[in-house]
Structure 1
């Protein structure tokens, strides 16, 4: 009997062992939110990263992986991004990848702010010296700017346990480091050839967060959750290219002028207004020089003066030169990628200036010409008397018969000139020695 009970218990135990996994929920793989930044650092990329970090926090993800490739960007956006990374409840991994990428200027600040800083082979980071927008500063102001940037970098690099001296050299001396140099100088934590290799490498690592707490990373075979950019972010990101913003501004202005010149067409005016507002919205996010706006406004004034007074092309040439200079210096970006290129400024300035001068001149001449419709168009015309005017009779003018009055007698067949129009009667005068020879 005992043997039977023992065998029965063994059988039940085996059945439960086989069925137990079916009643236990399967272990979910770690979740890592993946963000891509392959652009300049500006308000659009700032908003995208903030949105991605918020999604990761809402999902309670195990980590956030930011793939970074940037030449740099605006300091205000950089500070905001660094603040969001330091305050993130989810550990943040910044990975400079793929090969050939860089974390230049502002990107270096973002790389050093991460809980885990990593680079792919064939990448570089650094050259983070602050660039003055709009001109050259004196030594005192330059020193203040450098001290502010290095203090900002030290405020979190030391808490991350990284090399403060090497980080400051990237700011003060514009040094740039390869992935090997950055790893040897303890500016980054590791080098990995891919996302998967990096996450597997970091699995189980103990990370000290910025607030002093510690957490273990669970990233082995992690499920990547990519965050795509929205349509709004895509459009604004394209418009953050100063060259495109300037071209859209010029095209929009020409379309609006076309609408004013030929009212009622509607489509050019609507499209031009949309393009103009879109470019102005993008330029509002960029560092714009207001003195350059004055140059552009002055260019329009000179073109109008050329059309009105005719300066033998001197005023138009001066206006085009002002327009080119205004467009070239319109955006005071900290890096070349955030400035209007010479080719764009010259091409858009000359084309827009020439077309505008030509169209304004035509419009001004048309404004000066008298109306070609209605009775007023007859003033100054030559008419032929169809019957004697003594003082009233009929004349033929522009193929039409009109009643006319003349203060002196006019024989049939004589030519008269229209002086004025009174109602439906023409006031005419004789043309001396101009009797018609028509028979």
Structure 2
């Protein structure tokens, strides 16, 4: 009997072990992973670092594919080219996906999309507007220099050719500002898939052969890439609006700090300027910085001068002009449509004007105080109202032009009586009771 129990137990353990191995194999085979990187704003000097980190993450953890979702007005051309080269260099299949519905991937975003191994768009999304433009004082002007345009066209068409996509459309994105919705882009062979969700897209691309690898993405686990704290912080301050505002905020903080030392505003200004410069990748307009520095010097001189005049006005104008020039709108630093570049200028210049008006108000108040006559001289002979009983060695308070003053008197003064200020003894006013006939004479 004991022998039979041991036999049954051995058989049970054998089949349990065999079942667990088959279950583990089946589980492992069905648990493919897909990494998703979201680009949901401008392509900045840190975007290529984030893409590089995500690619390394996908390579090291054996992800089936990397999906880059795009919702961007465009951005830096150098960073865009770097991202395209990284996509071509990695062995991980890279899927570009304009997502979610109703978004866009303009300019630099379009170049990235047509350079991915598989290109897809969600319904009601748009790509295109890749003609390089620059914002000038008279409006927006297309960049027509053949050297620049031909280089962009060649890069776009070669990437389209590499992935068997429409080369004519790739060229017209740049030369004619072509824009396409998802269905038209699919019809014109600019993209391969239209999909409403990531899960649906993973089902559609399942079985595709990319970079010598057959994709097994149907039902795969979707993991969203999270950048490190350093990259996340850099991503925030490298936003063109944020970095430009940091520079301007730092400038005004230094002005106020120099004019009113002791509050640490100048230290805050130095930190803000340093962060702004880091955010722009140190690629700042030297002329703009020169104008802002001159403006700072003029405004500081205005604070030190006896009145409000030409220094303050000139300094304010210099800072406004420099702030507009600081906004990264010139091509190829900022490869975005003209509409976004105008929005960027407004976003930077509007706070500058508001801060400038506030600064003018502060300077005006300083000027007003400087021109004011000494207050104590105006007290003598004025009338006031007693707020406390005063007299017989008792001091009390009086109200003069909305200010409370401590007072004493040789007269007996009741609360509410009118008094006349005779002199000032330290911080105490000497007063006398103002009789009704004296008040009428006055």
Distance in structure 1 (CA, Å) of the matches to 2:262 and 2:303: 24
- Correspondence for 2:288 among 264, 267, 292: 292
Q: Does 1:239 align with 2:237?
A: yes
- Say which SS state the counterpart of residue 216 (structure 2) adopts: coil
Tell me the CA shift for residue 15 of structure 1: 9.0
Conserved? CA contact 1:95–1:120, under 8 Å: yes
- Correspondence for 2:227 among 226, 229, 241: 229
**Counterpart residue number, 2:322:** 326
Distance in structure 1 (CA, Å) of the matches to 2:81 and 2:180: 22
Tell me the CA shift for residue 141 of structure 1: 5.7
Can you give the 5+ residue segments of structure 2 that lack an aligned partner in the other structure? 1-9, 371-442
- Correspondence for 2:352 among 342, 348, 351: 348
RMSD over aligned CA atoms reads 3.4
Conserved? CA contact 1:304–1:360, under 8 Å: no
- Correspondence for 2:190 among 175, 187, 192: 187
Matches within 5 A, 1:23-102: 23-24=21-22, 25-26=24-25, 27-28=27-28, 29-102=31-104
Distance in structure 2 (CA, Å) of the matches to 1:259 and 1:309: 16
Report which structure shows greater RCO (CA 8 Å, sep ≥6): 2
Distance 1:350 1:204, change over 3 A: closer
Distance 1:110 1:312, change over 3 A: same
Task: Give the aligned length.
Answer: 349
Tell me the CA shift for residue 133 of structure 1: 7.3
Task: Say which one has the larger Rg.
Answer: 1
What's the TM-score once normalised by structure 1's chain length? 0.70
Matches within 5 A, 1:247-258: 247-258=245-256
- Say which SS state the counterpart of residue 53 (structure 2) adopts: helix
Tell me the CA shift for residue 34 of structure 1: 1.1
Distance in structure 1 (CA, Å) of the matches to 2:56 and 2:130: 28
Tell me the CA shift for residue 21 of structure 1: 2.2
Matches within 5 A, 1:26-425: 26=25, 27-28=27-28, 29-132=31-134, 142-207=145-210, 209=211, 214-261=212-259, 263-265=261-263, 267-285=264-282, 287-304=283-300, 306-307=302-303, 313-333=309-329, 334=334, 335=336, 337=340, 340-342=344-346, 344-349=348-353, 351-352=355-356, 355=359, 358=362
What's the TM-score once normalised by structure 2's chain length? 0.70
Tell me the CA shift for residue 154 of structure 1: 2.2
- Say which SS state the counterpart of residue 234 (structure 1) adopts: helix
